[in-house]
Chain A
Amino acid sequence: MNRMKPSKQTIQLLNRIALISGIVAFILCILIIANYIQVKRIDPLNTPAMTVLLDRLKSNPGDDALRTEIRELDLLSRKAFFTSWWQIRTGGYILLACVLVIVICLKWIELIRPKIPPPPEPVKEDFWDQRKTRQRWIIYTGIFLVAGSLILAWLTYTEIGKTLYRQEIARQGTDSRQATDSLERGPDIELTINQLQRTGGQDSTPVTGTDSESDATQSGTTPGNADLEEQSNGPQQAFPSREEILSNAMTFRGPDANGVVNGKNFPVSWNGTTGTNVRWKTAIPLSGNNSPIVWKNRVFLTGASTTKREVYCIDAGTGKILWQTDVSAIPGTPSTAPKVDRETGLAAPTMTTDGQRTYAIFATGDLVALDMEGKLAWGKNLGLPKNHYGYSSSLIMYRNLLIVQWDQAEGASVKAFDGTTGKLIWNTPRDVKLSWASPILVNTGNRMELILSADPCVVSYDPASGKELWRVDCIYGEVGPSLAYAGGYVFVTNEYARLAAIKLGNPPQIAWESTDYLSDIPSPVASDDYLFLVTSYGVVVCHNAKTGEEYWVKELDNSVYSSPVLVDGLVYLLDKTGIMHIFKAGKVYQPVGEATLGEGSVCTPAFAGGRIFIRGEKNLYCIGN
């Protein structure tokens, strides 16, 4: 008994030490966590005070006092940060010491406690029953593993194997497109490109009774582009004639939005700094990455800030801003501007016009129509586009229909509104991913087609009814470049996917493809013989449009975001620093001129009436001989 006493006391003492250590450790723990959360929440180098000071320094770079103030604040923030860190670290070491004390106490107690307990009460355990239970549970585990794995496979399935497999097939060429790989990924992926191309997909939803224009356009002989467009241009509907479309710059990237522009004798040299061949230059109040459009003697563009959206009309002759209309108060517009990538901005889509009204769309989803005097004809909010970089698809007119490529993360669609009233005429859902490309209009010879590109396919629609005409699965990723078209071929590209030429026909087929140089922003442009592809890092590649043969590659010194324009046998390509590279659209690279704007630009220039309209970072320039 006597021998047991001190042992009991010691156990009690050790228990107390363990308890006190535990309490100390617990308090320390709370303090450390609180300190950690506090320090984690503060970004020491980006405090509001620092941001304000840095902004001030940006606008006043020569202010040495401010510089010193910033340095001192920076030092202070760093010191505070490291002091907190030191506190956490030291607290951590004390914690460790406490844990050690607890462990030692517990082990000590274990050592001095009477060791061997008396034999346990005999429990009636049936060995054979237990064994059966184990067997049963092993079987359950096996079933669970199979089911769990299959559910996991289903939940995490991303088609990567399928996609790569398709690519592999595509790489094998268009002649023998049968699957040769024995990857055994299941019969559903044994697809050929031919099978992937299917015509007549999703049906459009005519919102009001549309006329039978599509039938009219699809029947008959093969009228010219102008004939097709004008066939139903009855007396009651006044929309521009083909001549007007060709002589103005009503859409992003030329009359059919494919980068090909009509007209002759555009300047090949100018200098924005010295003013050579610059007819005027006008500062645009709000920034925007949209390109100018031109109707007769008026130039239109938009600008936006987080609080304001505006449409500008500028006199093409003098550069004077004729009117500017604030369109920020459209019903349904979000109260705060969406978060967008700086390189996209809030006013990336280019406007369009039908000569009676001008139309604009913004990253907020606001779609507006203004008459030629700047008065709001109608405006509506289509909903905030689910687009992490910012909405950027430009508008296009087909006769009286204003067409919107509404690709977004969920619920993508293409819509047509009546230009006069803003009424939704048709709406076709699209099973595609989010894209940043713009639609093009193509006259295939016997009908007009509205062709769009987004992961995973190029889809053609009847622009009058929105009915899907055909599709070719051939594109992946975050599609930025719009399509090019010439001589019966549609050209599609996207970075990390491919460049593909789709030969129109029944069904349309991939004629050739290449993966050597791909674009993520600039759209390609094509003539009947050549395809010009420009990468955003400044490489220009010329391919044979029919075979894909690579004729030449030219590396520019600067990156390029704007799209090339083909006009009068020349390609005009504006790089990000504002230098226009002009070269012959030919089999060899033959530069014709290089002209400087004097400021950077990411917008595609508009060509009309022998003049070029270029939107720089801040100003709009009119270039003319």
Chain B
Amino acid sequence: MKKGIALTILALLFAWQMISTFAIQRFPKPEFESGYITPETLLPSPRAEILEVLDVAVLLLALSVVTWAVLKRRSRNLVFWISVFSLAYFGFYREGCVCSIGAIQNVTMALFNGSYIIPWTVLVFFMAPLLFTLIFGRTFCAGVCPFGALQDLISWQPRTIGPRLNAVLGIIPYIYLGLAVLYAATGTDFIICRYDPFVGIFRLNATFGMFLFAGVLLLSGLFLARPYCRFLCPYGVLLNWVSRFSKYHLTITPSVCIQCRLCEDSCPYEAIEKPVTVKNPDSRKRMVRKFMLIVLLSPFFMLLGGWTGSHIHESLARVNGKVRMAEEILHPKRIAGQSETIEMTAFKASGKPAKELYAEVTGILREFYIGGWILGGFVGLTIGGLLAGRLITRYRTDFEPNRGTCFSCARCVDYCPVKTGTGSIEL
């Protein structure tokens, strides 16, 4: 029966997207003959400053309250309700925008494009969760991020996926982050926003492909807790790095771990580090040698990655509209019955000489060529870093959350029988 319900939800998601995609206007603008004056197209006015201040205030408040709920109250219930509020406010009311994840692109753009001035609210949305994480761990993920909240809500029968899949999927966020930065730096696109699977749900409007993506993510979210946060979120990469240095990170037990093992399987995100007591069968000398080898090989990984990236730079550049247009002109592949793209019609109508476009595209390709090297180098470095990271061992006797991957959701806290403050046990 439960499986049936899960399938129903998937079917619902499909149906849901259809309703919204259907809202696309299919009728051409009527041609009036009776002197009717078509009103001018109005652009939505920007959000009032006061409401922007409100957004920032809500963000800071939510961050503070959830941090308090996680670290002081140690209450999963409270965290859950805060996340429901965040989902309602940042998700359905603010329709997923402004968001800290997308802010990466604004920050990148501001760094690479001198003429772009980043709105202060966006900057706060980018910085505040990072600062909170640096001090308190990823409490932002626990209860403020609407994407996390939505996935948390539908997480139903989470399963573990094992070290292999974890290793493979864990690299994706780094690549996504690299791509997002590349596209934002070259002024091509904000891919995090364009391919944001949840915004379509918040707005009840998206393309078929995006709804499909969202549907697949949510369906997998029934059995794989927070798939987006763990295996896609580019902001999560930054939070993961920062959280490792957090001073007051959540602990499973409020005082001492009594090794009861009750919390062992409590984390749906596989973020609990179990005690490591068995000695490494490899000698210390060997481990050091291995570590040194990986450190020495890292520049090679970077070079190999960069070389690969430089080879796919044209494919990467094709996301850029101008590159696609130049390609359409130079290598027309139109097939029977397919008319030219709107962009092409507009370009032709603009009367802009093709050589200007070519010159621009040559410049863009050059940027992507350099970007391809950097992106590949970054991925190479990431792989080197992950390999090296696996060689550093900290022996521990207690169950502890992994500071990088723990979302501070406080689920495991409920499983710990040790009582706050006194250290007494409540079973």
- In chain A, positions 73-124 with a C-beta closer than 8 Å to chain B are 78, 81, 85, 88-89, 91-92, 95-96, 98-99, 102-103, 106-107, 115-120, 122
Nearest CB of chain A from residue B373's CB, rounded to whole Å = 10
User: Complex Cα distance A142/B274, Å?
Assistant: 27
- Verify if A388 is at the interface (C-beta below 8 Å from B): yes
Is A1 interfacial (CB-CB < 8 Å)? Answer: no
Contact between A103 and B154, CB atoms less than 8 A apart: yes
Contacting residue for B12 out of A25, A39, A165, CB 8 A: A25
For residue A165, which residues in chain B have a CB less than 8 angstroms away from its CB? 362
Chain A interface: which of B38-46, B132-140, B353-361? B353-361
Q: Which of A155-163, A230-238, A592-600 contacts B (4 or more CB under 8 A)?
A: A155-163
Tell me whether B404 is interfacial, beta carbon within 8 Å: no
- How many whole Å from B135's CB to the nearest CB in chain A? 29
CB distance from A304 to the nearest CB of B (A): 18
Are A29 and B14 in contact, with the CB atoms below 8 A?
yes
A 452-473 to B, binary, CB cutoff 8 A, 1 in contact else 0: 0000000000000000000000
Which stretch in A146-154, A366-374, A437-445 binds the other chain? A146-154
B343 within 8 A of A: no
What is the CB-to-nearest-CB distance from A565 to chain B, in angstroms, rounded to a whole number?
Answer: 27
Q: Are A25 and B11 in contact (CB under 8 A)?
A: yes
Q: Does B296 contact A (CB under 8 A)?
A: no
Contact of B22 among A29, A88, A495 (CB under 8 A): A88
Q: Are A85 and B390 touching (Cβ within 8 A)?
A: no
In the complex, how many residue pairs between chain A and chain B have their CB atoms under 8 Å apart?
A: 215
> Which chain B positions have C-beta within 8 A of A23?
8
- Whether a CB of chain B sits under 8 angstroms from the CB of A44 is yes
Q: Does B27 contact A (CB under 8 A)?
A: yes
Q: Which of A1-44 contact B (CB under 8 A)?
A: 15, 18-19, 22-23, 25-26, 28-29, 32-33, 36, 39, 44
In the complex, which range does the number of interface residues on chain A fall in? Answer: 35 or more
Known contacts: A96-B16, A122-B261, A164-B358. The answer to whether A19 contacts B27 by CB under 8 A is: no
Residue numbers in A under 8 Å from B353 (CB-CB)? 515-516
Query: Is the beta-carbon distance between A22 and B164 smaller than 8 angstroms?
Result: no
Q: Determine if B390 and A135 form an interchain contact, defined as CB atoms under 8 angstroms apart.
A: yes
Q: Write out the residue numbers on chain A whose beta carbons fall within 8 Å of the beta carbon of B309.
A: 149
Residues in chain B near residue A98, CB distance under 8 A: 12
Q: Does A552 contact B (CB under 8 A)?
A: no
A115:B8 contact, CB within 8 angstroms: no
**A168 interface hit (Cβ, 8 Å):** yes
Closest residue on chain A to residue B266 by CB atoms: A116
Residues of A contacting B361 with CB < 8 Å? 160, 164
| Complex Cα spacing A215 to B219, Å | 74
Question: Would you give the shortest CB distance from B315 to chain A, in whole angstroms?
Answer: 4
Q: Does A205 contact B (CB under 8 A)?
A: no
* Distance of A388 Cα from B383 Cα, bound (Å): 48
Chain B residues whose CB sits within 8 angstroms of the CB of A126 once the complex forms: 278
Question: A470-482, CB under 8 A of B: which get 1 and which 0?
Answer: 0000001110000
In Å, the complex CA distance between A529 and B275 comes to 90
Chain A residues in 8 Å Cβ range of B265: 117, 120
Contact A103–B153 (Cβ < 8 Å): yes
CB of A282 closer than 8 Å to a CB of B: no
- B151 CB → nearest A CB, Å: 12
A18 contact from B5, B16, B365, B379, Cβ within 8 A: B5
Complex CA distance for A120 and B11, rounded to whole angstroms:
35
> For the complex, is B285 an interface residue (Cβ under 8 Å from A)?
no
Count contacts on B: residues with CB < 8 A to the other chain: 80
Residues of A within 8 A of B213 (CB): none
Question: Quick check: A133 and B163 within 8 Å, CB to CB?
Answer: yes
Closest residue on chain B to residue A163 by CB atoms:
B330
Q: Is A49 an interface residue (CB 8 A)?
A: no
Quick one: which of B387-418 are within 8 Å of A by CB? Answer: 387, 390, 414-415
Is B366 within 8 A of A26, CB to CB? no
- Whether B369 pairs with A33 at a CB distance below 8 angstroms is no
Cβ–Cβ contact B329 & A164, under 8 A: no
Known contacts A160-B326, A164-B361, A339-B337, A15 near B1 by CB under 8 Å: yes
Is B19 a contact of A89 with CB atoms below 8 Å?
yes
Look across to chain B and name the residue whose beta carbon is closest to the beta carbon of A126: B278
Contact, CB under 8 Å: B12 / A88? no
B167, A137: Cβ atoms closer than 8 Å: yes
Tell me, yes or no, whether B15 is within 8 Å of chain A by CB: yes
A45 within 8 A of B: yes
Q: What A residues does B304 contact at CB under 8 A?
A: 146
Does B18 touch A at the CB level, under 8 Å? yes
A146-B262 Cα distance, complex, nearest whole Å: 42
CA A163 to CA B380, docked complex, whole Å: 30
Cα separation A183 to B310 with both chains bound (whole Å): 11
Contact B16 A95 (CB under 8 A): yes
Is A160 within 8 A of B415, CB to CB? no
B168 contacts the other chain (Cβ, under 8 Å)? yes
Residues of B within 8 A of A141 (CB): 167-168, 171, 383
Is B334 in the interface zone, CB < 8 Å from A?
yes
Taking a contact as CB atoms under 8 Å apart, the answer to whether B163 and A156 are in contact is no
1/0 per residue, CB under 8 A from A, across B155-171: the answer is 01000000110111001
**Cβ of B261 and Cβ of A120 under 8 Å apart?**
yes
Q: What distance in Å separates the Cβ of A200 from its nearest Cβ neighbour in chain B?
A: 26
Q: Does B260 lie at the interface of the complex (its beta carbon under 8 Å from any beta carbon of A)? A: yes
| Shortest beta-carbon distance from A428 to chain B in Å | 24
Q: Is the beta-carbon distance between A160 and B331 smaller than 8 angstroms?
A: yes
Q: Is B336 engaged at the interface, CB distance under 8 Å to the other chain?
A: yes
Give complex CA distance A89, B171 in Å. 40
Residues of A within 8 A of B281 (CB): 128
With contacts A135-B390, A149-B309, A152-B312 taken as known, whether A92 is within 8 angstroms of B15 at the C-beta atoms is yes
Is B311 in contact with A150, judged by CB distance below 8 angstroms? yes
- Contact present for A478 and B5 (CB under 8 Å): no
- The answer to the question of B276 belonging to the interface, with a C-beta cut-off of 8 Å to chain A, is yes
- Whether B330 contacts A496 by the Cβ 8 Å rule is yes
**Of A25, A85, A102, A158, which one neighbours B314 at CB under 8 angstroms?**
A158
Cα separation A25 to B12 with both chains bound (whole Å): 7
Are A146 and B156 touching (Cβ within 8 A)? no
Residues of B within 8 A of A19 (CB): 1, 4-5
Question: Which chain B residues in 346-382 approach chain A with CB under 8 Å?
Answer: 353-355, 358, 361-362, 365-366, 369, 376, 379-380
Residues in A neighbouring B414, C-beta threshold 8 A: 115-116
| Contacting residues, chain A, for B308 (C-beta < 8 A) | 145-146, 149-150
Complex partner residue of B11 from A26, A135, A160, CB under 8 angstroms: A26
Does any Cβ of A come within 8 Å of B280's Cβ? yes
Chain B, Cβ-Cβ closest to A123: B264
Interface bits A124-135 vs B (CB < 8 Å: 1, else 0)? 011110110111
Query: Residues of B contacting A122 with CB < 8 Å?
Result: 261
Residues of A within 8 A of B280 (CB): 128
Question: Does B57 touch A at the CB level, under 8 Å?
Answer: no
- Kindly list chain A residues whose C-beta atoms are within 8 Å of the C-beta of B337: 339, 388
Q: What are 15 A-B contacts with C-beta separation under 8 Å?
A: A29-B15, A32-B15, A33-B15, A44-B27, A45-B28, A99-B12, A102-B8, A138-B387, A142-B301, A145-B305, A149-B376, A156-B314, A163-B330, A164-B330, A164-B365
Q: 14 other contacts beyond A106-B5, A138-B390, A388-B334, with CB at 8 A cut-off? A: A25-B11, A33-B15, A88-B22, A92-B16, A102-B8, A102-B9, A126-B278, A137-B164, A137-B167, A141-B168, A146-B304, A153-B311, A160-B323, A160-B330
Residues of B in contact with A (beta carbons under 8 Å apart): 1, 4-5, 8-9, 11-12, 14-16, 18-20, 22-23, 26-28, 153-154, 156, 163-164, 166-168, 171, 175, 260-262, 264-265, 274, 276, 278, 280-282, 301, 304-305, 308-312, 314-315, 318, 323, 326-327, 329-332, 334-338, 353-355, 358, 361-362, 365-366, 369, 376, 379-380, 383, 386-387, 390, 414-415
Name the 3 nearest CB pairs between A and B, nearest first: A92-B19, A137-B167, A388-B336
Which residues of A come within 8 Å of B, CB atoms? 15, 18-19, 22-23, 25-26, 28-29, 32-33, 36, 39, 44-45, 78, 81, 85, 88-89, 91-92, 95-96, 98-99, 102-103, 106-107, 115-120, 122, 125-128, 130-131, 133-135, 137-142, 145-146, 149-150, 152-153, 156-161, 163-165, 167-168, 171, 183-185, 338-339, 388, 433, 476-478, 495-497, 515-516, 518
